[in-house]
Structure 1
Amino acid sequence: MFAHEQRQRVVALCIELSRRGYLAGTGGNVALRIDAECFAVTPSAIDYLSMQAEDICIVRTKDLHQLDGTRTPSVETGLHAQVMRRRPDVGCSIHTHQPVASACTLLGAPLEVTQPALRRLLGARIPIAGYMPSGTGLLARLLARQLRPTVNAYLLRNHGVVCCGTNLQAAVTVVEALELVARSHLQTQIQARAAREPDLAAGLQRVLTALDSHRHTSGASSLSQT
């Protein structure tokens, strides 16, 4: 099997992300660069916990032509291709619907990153790409406009996020760090509303607590919240 090791690593990563609550069912997708010409990407409509190495697709970066694999590549393959083309330093990109960061996409605004360590990891400001239907070239092009060499996390309006890193573990670390930044942002928004809209603030706090509970019962983050 072509790129068997890389395919196995993608499967292992999907299982890890599912257990941590960042992926669920068939939602989200992962891409791993093989070389300058192609990358491995998860297939469409297969549960991550039942996925096998042979299910992973190999596509050509420049035109998304499928080079190997019998499954249909993820409908979001175009998102990953844009990252791979425009960021040659990136070895792995991850698209998730992770709960807290995805909630932030509904606000329609970028996220400012204030903590120095997180700024170095994510970038000073997390951009947001405008809304387009999932799986369309239009969405991929909107993301492409936001890509920056020093930014490793991106919001997709009313949809989810794209995170990237030099390798698998670096990309996972970005996923985790983005969730921390998103949680801090939502907590700040809730506190700002507490005095003038206490009932709404209390309801929002319950939602945020529920989102935290979903992620922690799925698997603990390896990042400290300090």
Structure 2
Amino acid sequence: MTEKMSGGETLSMEKDELVHRAQDQMRRHLEAPDWSLREKVALTCHILFAQGHDSGLAGQITARAPAPGNYYTQRLGLGFDEISASNLLTVNEDLEVLSGDGMANPANRFHSWIYRARPDVRCIVHTHPLHISALSMLGRPLKVSHMDTCPLHGEVAFLEEWPGVPVGNGEGEIIAATLGDKRAALLAHHGLVIACRSVEEACVLAIQCERAARLQLLAESAGQVRDIDPQLAREAHDWVLQEKRTQATFAYFARRALRALPAGGVDPLG
């Protein structure tokens, strides 16, 4: 337990000092349930379903499994709202099913290319949410110009030309190269891909990408979007993308999704 101040001492502190103080408090006080990796993937499916990221059977969510070259993903034929920790597949880079029933989405192939190119990536989200998809049809990159979306500052690449259905190796090479070292990419005439260091981070950034696209389309319908100061955007980026904060945000969205489960619905933790 830290020593309590008598009051008013923080009012003379510099911003950097206040930031470090808040970061220390978050590390000590923010907690999240000890979900397994499979449970986090299943929860992400339900969270993104609730956030409007579903598009029938399109889209995939994957996470690196413990064995090198393997990852967890959902079974083709199930929607995001039908995924549970128990019905996830374990597949290898060739999309051969190592455990579970059914088959993986053939479009998962480009995930293998991203995992090979990016050892830091632990989770990939690919979805076709409404506003991201609409923006992708205009041939314009995602614009970050609001505090809430600053975690995306400098993080979103743009693939200008659609290479077609991503079931071939060529598409995997193109998407992985477009992504580079960034956490996200807007794919023209297609959708969104997120590549992050954790399931929680991938889920939260996927939500923010769709929100950013919606904000951009709304703002551009009224006028010209003003640029945000890059230094302030980076400050907000680093503030929001703290691991503890990201975990807490994911846990909040998970609680919402679990509370909203319909009677007879699939329990992601089941």
| Normalised TM-score (structure 1) | 0.72
- In structure 2, which of residues 137, 141, 146 is the aligned counterpart of residue 110 of structure 1? 141
- In structure 2, which of residues 79, 82, 87 is the aligned counterpart of residue 50 of structure 1? 82
For residue 75 of structure 1, what is the aligned residue in structure 2?
A: 106
TM-fit CA distance, 1:117 = 7.3
CA contact (8 A) 1:122 1:174 kept: no
For residue 159 of structure 1, what is the aligned residue in structure 2?
A: 190
Deviates more, 1:105-114 or 1:69-78: 105-114
TM-fit CA distance, 1:34 = 1.4
Greater RCO structure (CA 8 Å; 6+ sep) = 2
For residue 47 of structure 2, what is the aligned residue in structure 1?
A: 16
Shift of the 49–179 alpha-carbon distance from structure 1 to 2, 3 Å rule, reads closer
Provide the aligned length of Structure 1 versus Structure 2.
190
Task: Output the amino acid matched with 2:196.
Answer: G
Task: Tell me the C-alpha RMSD between the 2 structures.
Answer: 2.7
Partner Cα separation in structure 2 for residue 32 and residue 53 of structure 1: 12
Partner Cα separation in structure 1 for residue 47 and residue 142 of structure 2: 26
For residue 243 of structure 2, what is the aligned residue in structure 1?
A: none
Partner Cα separation in structure 1 for residue 120 and residue 58 of structure 2: 26
Q: 2:169 matched to 1:148?
A: no
Structure 2 alignment gaps of length 5 or more: 1-35, 225-251, 254-270
Question: Which secondary structure state, in structure 1, belongs to the residue aligned with residue 106 of structure 2?
Answer: coil
Going by fraction, where is strand more abundant, 1 or 2? 1
For residue 217 of structure 1, what is the aligned residue in structure 2?
A: none
- Alignment identity in percent? 25
Q: Deviations over 1:100-150 (max 9, x none)?
A: 11111101232243457745545255312521332421432321220221x
Choose 1 or 2 for highest CA Rg: 2
Partner Cα separation in structure 1 for residue 146 and residue 219 of structure 2: 14
Structure 1 alignment gaps of length 5 or more: 194-220
- In structure 1, which of residues 64, 82, 85 is the aligned counterpart of residue 116 of structure 2? 85
Shift of the 186–121 alpha-carbon distance from structure 1 to 2, 3 Å rule, reads closer
Matches of residues 76-225 of structure 1 in structure 2 within 5 Å?
A: 76-115=107-146, 118-121=149-152, 123=154, 125-128=156-159, 130-137=161-168, 138-149=170-181, 151-192=182-223
Partner Cα separation in structure 2 for residue 75 and residue 122 of structure 1: 31
Shift of the 191–117 alpha-carbon distance from structure 1 to 2, 3 Å rule, reads closer
Q: Deviations over 1:39-93 (max 9, x none)?
A: 11112121232334343221223x4443222211012211221221112111111
| Normalised TM-score (structure 2) | 0.61
Shift of the 13–42 alpha-carbon distance from structure 1 to 2, 3 Å rule, reads same
For residue 218 of structure 1, what is the aligned residue in structure 2?
A: none
